[in-house]
Structure 1
Amino acid sequence: MDHPESSAEIPLSTTRRESHPEPKIETETPSHSIDEALGAGTVEQDSKDGAPSKKLLAFKLAFIGLAAAVFVFQMDATSLGIALPTIAGELHGQSLESFWANMSYTLCGLVMQPLWASISNAFGRKPPLYVCIVFFTVGSIGFALAKNMSIIIVGRVLQGFGGGGIDVLAEIILADITTLQERSFYLGLMGIPISIGNILGPSVGALFSNYASWRWIGWVNLPFLGLAAPLIVFFLRLRPVQLDKSLAANLNRLDWIGMFLVVVGITIFVLPFSWAGSLYPWDSWRTLFPMFLGIVVLVVFAIYEKRPATPMMPHRLFHSKTANMTLAGAFIHGMILISILQYLPLFYQAVELETAIGSAVSLLPAVITSVLFAAISMMMVSVVGGYVWIIRFAWIILTLGTGLLALFDVGSSSSMRFGLPILWGAGVALLRLLLLPMQASVQNVDDTGLAIGQLLTVRMFGALVGLTVASTIFNSVFSATLSSIERPTGPLASLADAKNAVAFISELRKLDISPQVLDPVLKIYLKCFRTIFYTMAGLGSLGLITSLFTDDLDLSAKDLGQQQFEESS
């Protein structure tokens, strides 16, 4: 690996170092109203007197546009899971197709996030953001018009291409236009639509699949994109990057080999998860060989990144212990967040026999809690005097909250259905704080965008692995437990093939059979979900361990990135 740049090689205004024990945190206290909040932060201007200025109206409107775009991405990421049984039933989809309807969105977002971050460094933030919005819009329309599961998957692929870029570019732009000193507050504000979208997604999916049509999961994105796009186009005024005269020279600035290696490596690594335990056994060479090959390609990518002049993931970002531990925590956070968001609504429907809308209502207390904690988490940094102990506290309650989900049983009381997920919702919201140590660890402010892209990519990679792990657990436990009881017959005959387990969930509450026949099936579903909950709780304890090796870094820097907000058009 290359060595970190010395302070002599980096201008003083763009240099940050890891602090030692007892760091001084100088985060400004936020204003009380949102309008004041959006104008309360200050940026360093090149004015004669050096005085900071208030945020302009254009800044506020651009921020709202970014927030609306991110809200749509987060909502769409979690709205499909709860409607998937309905979609699979209507379009006659099997478990493998349902798996890829979910997986394609996350996989495509994952492989594109580091690419979009790299492209935005070379060509500026706004052009790739426009492309991402177009991808997401086309994918949403394709999903809404789909006549079979193949088109559903294609629509999700396009949404993943665009959504992954919207997610990472919004965070990078926010880092460009705010100083590290004020950023915790703006990240807190941005956390509100992110958390609302992330955890409200299942409710949206339930409402449409139950009272209208699941196709509205695609259509509902368009009004929000229609709000976000003009605000971003007309009011997001970023300082342009210096481009070469020829397109070829600009394209040569990109790390093409690195892009190829990371896309191929991630894809090859993930593919066998889709057929492990169903098409081929876990110990089959058809499963193990591509997984091993994917790991080899990713290792080659990591080694190669030392060579390019403008690498996607420069080695200098890994010289910080805090950054490395933060990345490990982000990976685990992604696993727990997405897997529980996808499978908890299915639990309510399969084990508690709730309707899709009923499962969404059961999640409302967790939604409200998550939104509140997302709003205050970043603002707590200035009160506590740092972020380390907040992150450790978040891991504790996330681990405990995830483990408590295993207390669910067939016929759980309404208080348990409403109350058990609350602690989990608070934990996942607080862990948005992981963005701060990652950004504070960079030595050069212009590396902040790459650092953000790296963290979001790792978190989404964790989400992808989490989905595959949860899906594998569900299918494997269902198949193994089903073989221990009498072969299902009559209305339950479809469950003789475990591939139909997810699609059949929407039919369980409609069956006209005795409790003596139905209860053993519900207990099979319960065992599947409990195993997922136990697994994710164990991962939460690993996340807590990573936080023990994280340090409080200095958050007082006031420097801005090269693509900062322009005060005048």
Structure 2
Amino acid sequence: MSHPAVMRALSGLLMGMFVSILAGTVVSTSMPRIISDLGGNQAAFTWVITSTLLATTVSTPIWGKFADIMNRKLLIQLALVIFVLGSALAGFSQNTETLIIFRVLQGLGGGGLAALSQIIMADIISPRERGRYMGLFGAVMAVGTVGGPLLGGVITDAIGWRWNFFVALPFAIAAIFLLQRNLNLPALEKIKIKIDYLGMVLITGGISLLLIWVTMAGHEFDWDSTASYVMIGAAVIMLILAVIVELRVSNPIIPMTLFKNPTFSLAVIASIAVGVAMFGTSVFLGQYMQLARGATPTQSGLLTLPMIAGLLLASTFVGMLISKYGKWKAYMVFGSIALTVGMFLMGTIKYDTNYVLVSVYMFILGVGVGMVMQNLVLIVQNTVSPKEIGVASSGVTFFRSLGGTIGISVLGAVLATKITDGISAKAADIQQALVALGPSGAEVGKQLSSGVLPKVSELPDSVRVIIESVYGQGVADIFLVAAPLALITVLAIVFLPNRSLSTQTARERMAPGADDQTEDAPESLGTEAAENLIAVGEASIGAQGDLLTTGSIPQVGGNGQRRPDADN
């Protein structure tokens, strides 16, 4: 495809991505207010977030499998409809239970958008050239991730939080129209297969049961109880049966053979840890800003900008470098280290930590996530067979979402425990502050003892400082709990095979007679070429000219000459 044709095709994908990002971020800063208005507690806050991620997680591999056998254009339009329908219905929620149900529907559509956008990109853009277009995706992410929380805060403060769920509707309609008009994909070869429904049920049931246990244990029943053992046992049995089924069926949802590929296996490990870092911690930043620093929803959106800025700048700039030089390993190793450092630094914050320091810590964490997250999908797509692009891409996204979902559930449970223990430890101080308030102290005490998330900014100063200190320490503790997982990401990325990026799209690799190299075998290098490659070095990348001038082996089709069929 020519550059104009690619741009036209990308217009609908970009708009669809914008819808997905906007609908997710627009409620991030207002979620504490939403849960408070609906009478929810910390467990409800966790489950409103987790329900969407859970639905996204379990549906992602299913969407990916369908993408390998069905019309991808129709699938992504269907995912958009489901996503926006769930979002709109969530705006009419009257309690946290109905909000959770509609967020599940939203997550089902989100799983399709997350998987299909990556799969369709592989159809029309080669791995080597994809960085060229990362600036566009970075711009869309910037508007959605930066504008979403700000817009959500303004809407919440001005006309009410319910309108946050309706704001994505016009953009979704535009995305469906653009996809219908501009996205033209070659028809897939028609094959008759049997859908692995049993695998779907076992994977969904096992993961859901495990996450329900994590969320309920410690509140509805003890961690060390019969209910815990029953739920853990049932979840483990279902997941073991799921693996057995996936090994035996002809068309599995998640082919176990993919794990024979070192790149895929290591990318899965790294994705789980990145998911915990990205979802499991950033979700609680809004709580930190509002409950530990007394910010309003609008202010909360502004205060979290440093992390978003780090993510966007890193993903955009690194994407351009990868596209220009064809190298990815050094950037991802550096990004994983930045991710680890950022997590440990965020574990040191308190409610009164200088905001400049908190901003620096958030920026470092954002840089790490931005350099690693999307590139994990890129290198997997570059390695696997083009016929497995769908299940492989959705597989990485699935495990990233799984890490995020588990992270939010576990970290949410840890935070709830820390808050309970912190309030208990400060009970005498709180009681003294309430007594000093006189008659109004009884009403404040009733609000605090209800279990509903407090509106910290509206509390009297003497009580507010105590509550802020408890939440500040609690949020810092969950960053420290998650930080060791980031070290796993570093190790997984260090051991990823350093395979050159292909200059062919997935469709070109599937064409008859195409040279499809999908094994992680070492490249055959002559002595002189190998020495030249070593001499180039990652540190001197910026000083190098065209790859041909270094003496290194050029990539096939990547020597700057256009193929005769380049515009077809």
Map 1:111-190 → 2, pairs under 5 A? 111-187=58-134, 189-190=136-137
What secondary structure does 1:550 align onto?
A: coil
Q: 1:242 — aligned with what?
A: 189
Identity rate, percent: 25
1:215 aligns with 2:168: no
In structure 2, distance between residues paired with 1:411 and 1:243:
61
Is contact 2:272–2:400 with CA below 8 Å preserved after alignment?
yes
In structure 1, distance between residues paired with 2:510 and 2:164:
35
In structure 2, distance between residues paired with 1:142 and 1:329:
35
1:396 aligns with 2:337: yes
What count of residue pairs does the alignment treat as equivalent? Answer: 502
Tell me how large the CA RMSD over aligned residues is. Answer: 2.5
Is contact 1:176–1:564 with CA below 8 Å preserved after alignment?
no
Q: 1:374 — aligned with what?
A: 315
Deviation, 1:243, is 3.4
Q: 2:449 — aligned with what?
A: 496
1:288 is aligned, of 215, 220, 229, to 229
What secondary structure does 1:203 align onto?
A: helix
In structure 1, distance between residues paired with 2:100 and 2:326:
46
In structure 1, distance between residues paired with 2:100 and 2:394:
25
1:430 aligns with 2:371: yes
1:233 aligns with 2:180: yes
Q: Deviations over 1:272-305 (max 9, x none)?
A: 1221111112222212331332233222222321
2:481 is aligned, of 535, 541, 560, to 535
1:55 aligns with 2:8: no
Q: 1:452 — aligned with what?
A: 393
Deviation, 1:271, is 1.2
Deviation, 1:82, is 2.4
Deviation, 1:61, is 2.4
Counterpart code for 2:7: K
Deviation, 1:333, is 0.4
Q: Which moved more, 1:347-356 or 1:303-312?
A: 303-312
In structure 1, distance between residues paired with 2:45 and 2:28:
9
Q: 2:410 — aligned with what?
A: 469
In structure 1, distance between residues paired with 2:318 and 2:283:
24
TM norm structure 1: 0.82
Is contact 2:326–2:500 with CA below 8 Å preserved after alignment?
no
What secondary structure does 1:145 align onto?
A: coil
Deviation, 1:428, is 0.9
1:512 is aligned, of 449, 460, 464, to 460
Q: 2:502 — aligned with what?
A: 556
Is contact 1:124–1:563 with CA below 8 Å preserved after alignment?
no
In structure 1, distance between residues paired with 2:128 and 2:358:
41
Greater helix content: 2
Q: Deviations over 1:209-255 (max 9, x none)?
A: 223321122111112212211010111111122336xxxxx5x5322
In structure 2, distance between residues paired with 1:194 and 1:136:
18
Deviation, 1:180, is 3.0
Counterpart code for 1:508: V
Counterpart code for 2:379: P
Deviation, 1:346, is 1.1
In structure 2, distance between residues paired with 1:513 and 1:400:
34
Is contact 2:278–2:404 with CA below 8 Å preserved after alignment?
yes
Q: Which moved more, 1:384-393 or 1:73-82?
A: 73-82
The alpha-carbon distance between structure 1 residues 564 and 77, as it changes in their structure 2 partners (threshold 3 A), is farther
In structure 2, distance between residues paired with 1:334 and 1:198:
17
In structure 1, distance between residues paired with 2:471 and 2:355:
19
In structure 2, distance between residues paired with 1:509 and 1:402:
27
Counterpart code for 2:202: L
Q: Deviations over 1:99-122 (max 9, x none)?
A: 322111111111111111111222
Is contact 1:239–1:562 with CA below 8 Å preserved after alignment?
no
In structure 2, distance between residues paired with 1:346 and 1:71:
24
Counterpart code for 1:318: F
The alpha-carbon distance between structure 1 residues 365 and 521, as it changes in their structure 2 partners (threshold 3 A), is closer
What secondary structure does 2:3 align onto?
A: coil
Is contact 1:192–1:374 with CA below 8 Å preserved after alignment?
no
In structure 1, distance between residues paired with 2:270 and 2:302:
30
The alpha-carbon distance between structure 1 residues 561 and 126, as it changes in their structure 2 partners (threshold 3 A), is same
In structure 2, distance between residues paired with 1:461 and 1:199:
25
Counterpart code for 2:96: M
Is contact 1:83–1:206 with CA below 8 Å preserved after alignment?
yes
In structure 1, distance between residues paired with 2:42 and 2:229:
21
Q: 1:36 — aligned with what?
A: none
1:110 aligns with 2:51: no
1:340 aligns with 2:274: no
Is contact 1:78–1:341 with CA below 8 Å preserved after alignment?
no
In structure 2, distance between residues paired with 1:513 and 1:198:
32
The alpha-carbon distance between structure 1 residues 331 and 172, as it changes in their structure 2 partners (threshold 3 A), is same
In structure 1, distance between residues paired with 2:231 and 2:82:
29
Q: 2:303 — aligned with what?
A: 362
What secondary structure does 1:561 align onto?
A: helix
Deviation, 1:84, is 1.8
Is contact 1:240–1:563 with CA below 8 Å preserved after alignment?
no
Counterpart code for 1:465: I
TM norm structure 2: 0.83
Q: Deviations over 1:493-520 (max 9, x none)?
A: 43335x43xx21xx21212243xx4433
In structure 1, distance between residues paired with 2:492 and 2:306:
29
What secondary structure does 2:284 align onto?
A: helix
In structure 1, distance between residues paired with 2:151 and 2:214:
28
Q: Which moved more, 1:364-373 or 1:459-468?
A: 364-373
1:441 aligns with 2:383: yes
The alpha-carbon distance between structure 1 residues 61 and 216, as it changes in their structure 2 partners (threshold 3 A), is farther
Q: 1:75 — aligned with what?
A: 22
The alpha-carbon distance between structure 1 residues 186 and 308, as it changes in their structure 2 partners (threshold 3 A), is farther
In structure 2, distance between residues paired with 1:533 and 1:204:
27
Counterpart code for 1:464: T
Map 1:22-101 → 2, pairs under 5 A? 43=1, 54-57=2-5, 59-101=6-48
Q: 2:255 — aligned with what?
A: 314
Counterpart code for 1:239: P
In structure 1, distance between residues paired with 2:154 and 2:166:
13
In structure 1, distance between residues paired with 2:249 and 2:134:
32
What secondary structure does 1:305 align onto?
A: helix
Is contact 1:438–1:452 with CA below 8 Å preserved after alignment?
yes
What secondary structure does 1:82 align onto?
A: coil
In structure 2, distance between residues paired with 1:271 and 1:237:
41
Q: 2:538 — aligned with what?
A: none
Counterpart code for 1:495: L
Counterpart code for 2:407: G
Is contact 2:339–2:365 with CA below 8 Å preserved after alignment?
yes
Alignment gaps of 5+ in structure 2: 432-441, 512-564
In structure 2, distance between residues paired with 1:567 and 1:389:
31
What secondary structure does 2:237 align onto?
A: helix
Q: 2:472 — aligned with what?
A: 526
What secondary structure does 1:240 align onto?
A: coil
In structure 2, distance between residues paired with 1:88 and 1:138:
21
In structure 1, distance between residues paired with 2:509 and 2:204:
27
In structure 1, distance between residues paired with 2:63 and 2:509:
15
